[in-house]
Structure 1
């Protein structure tokens, strides 16, 4: 436990740079999304979709700025995936609530995210950071597309085509990629932590 606390103290000493600030903005947008979509109407669903997409875009923006300006920090590496999980899981739970996503799919997604978060926490306690693989990034992109389509199903844009089917198929693809990337996290954790006898 003292190793975990020491790691968090070290992370907390880093300055709140622009990429990390953008990540915090993403987290702050989540309650507004929830308020709008917890009782969806066509107008509220459209507004919720806009907020969701804006929040998702900040995910790409903070990472790009951090890499471009050399502001990649331990705080950012830990905070960014947490913000992503809060955004996606909040949306999935609300979509289950309005019967657009099955509870089983949401449980499988949540189980994967909890497992990966646990692995990252253990690694952080050992002073190591396990960064996201490209597969995980593709998974996140597909999740954003799927969830956006499913949110928009309840708006006038639903007349453009079968948004529900498109959203569900995309969500299933993201689920497959999610478990592939989860396996990559386990392998990376094994190489960095377990195999070194830490």
Structure 2
């Protein structure tokens, strides 16, 4: 197995540890979750680059790399809803799109067609990862203030911390819808192609 695929697997292994840390009370666990997400994001950046530069792009990588992204990003977004950081309806839209696209990819794989992530899908993933990263920073800051019971965040900072996650996830929703429509349009022949 090449290095790029190993990095993809590392991202999948990181996901459950990240989720447990994110859902565990305490400022330290929130910062640890943020650190793990940054590591996962870096593996996402480097695995594709390594595969292209070394000429080791594989069917496994084309299929598993976007799936690894979905696992950690959707895990984070669902946790954000559970923690009351973002509105559930936005995460439901993102989840529905990801399930639909993953299903399309499975249909393609069953017919021997590997459908790689497209340019818009990569933009969508980048937008989602930025939204998740910033929301993790917000959660870490909030948990720090919560642990310092005698110190409250200034009112302007409280407003920023309150609304930033929903604004960024809202932008991710827009990118998610656009990329999903374009992806299905581009690969609709997979749905109608016979064995």
Report how far residue 39 of structure 1 moved. Answer: 2.0
Q: Does 1:172 align with 2:170?
A: yes
Residues 63, 163 of structure 1: alpha-carbon distance in 2 compared, 3 angstrom cutoff = farther
Kept in 2: contact 1:23–1:80 (CA 8 A): yes
Question: What TM-score, normalized by structure 2, do the two folds share?
Answer: 0.86
Residues 146, 163 of structure 1: alpha-carbon distance in 2 compared, 3 angstrom cutoff = farther
Structure 2 gaps of 5+ residues are 146-152
Please provide the CA RMSD for this pair.
1.9
How many pairs are equivalent? 182
Q: Residue in 1 aligned with 2:5?
A: 20
Q: Alpha-carbon deviations, 1:8-48, whole Å to 9, x = none?
A: xxxxxxxx211001100111111221121112322211110
Kept in 2: contact 1:149–1:167 (CA 8 A): yes
Report how far residue 83 of structure 1 moved. Answer: 0.5
Structure 1 moving runs of 4+ over 6 Å: none
Q: Residue in 2 aligned with 1:190?
A: 188
Kept in 2: contact 1:59–1:84 (CA 8 A): yes
Structure 1 gaps of 5+ residues are 1-15
Question: What TM-score, normalized by structure 1, do the two folds share?
Answer: 0.84
Kept in 1: contact 2:87–2:166 (CA 8 A): no
Q: Residue in 1 aligned with 2:104?
A: 119
Q: What secondary structure sits across from 1:63 in the alignment?
A: helix
Q: Aligned equivalents of 2:94 and 2:62: distance in 1?
A: 21
Kept in 2: contact 1:149–1:163 (CA 8 A): no
Q: Residue in 1 aligned with 2:129?
A: 144
Q: Aligned equivalents of 1:33 and 1:171: distance in 2?
A: 19
Q: Aligned equivalents of 1:34 and 1:25: distance in 2?
A: 15
Q: Aligned equivalents of 1:149 and 1:40: distance in 2?
A: 19
Residues 61, 164 of structure 1: alpha-carbon distance in 2 compared, 3 angstrom cutoff = farther
Q: Aligned equivalents of 2:33 and 2:43: distance in 1?
A: 16
Report how far residue 168 of structure 1 moved. Answer: 2.0
Report how far residue 165 of structure 1 moved. Answer: 2.4
Kept in 2: contact 1:77–1:131 (CA 8 A): yes
Selected match of 2:32 from 36, 47, 65: 47
Q: Residue in 2 aligned with 1:34?
A: 19
Q: Alpha-carbon deviations, 1:135-178, whole Å to 9, x = none?
A: 11111111111112212223338869424423322211111111
Report how far residue 100 of structure 1 moved. Answer: 0.3
Q: Aligned equivalents of 2:132 and 2:191: distance in 1?
A: 34
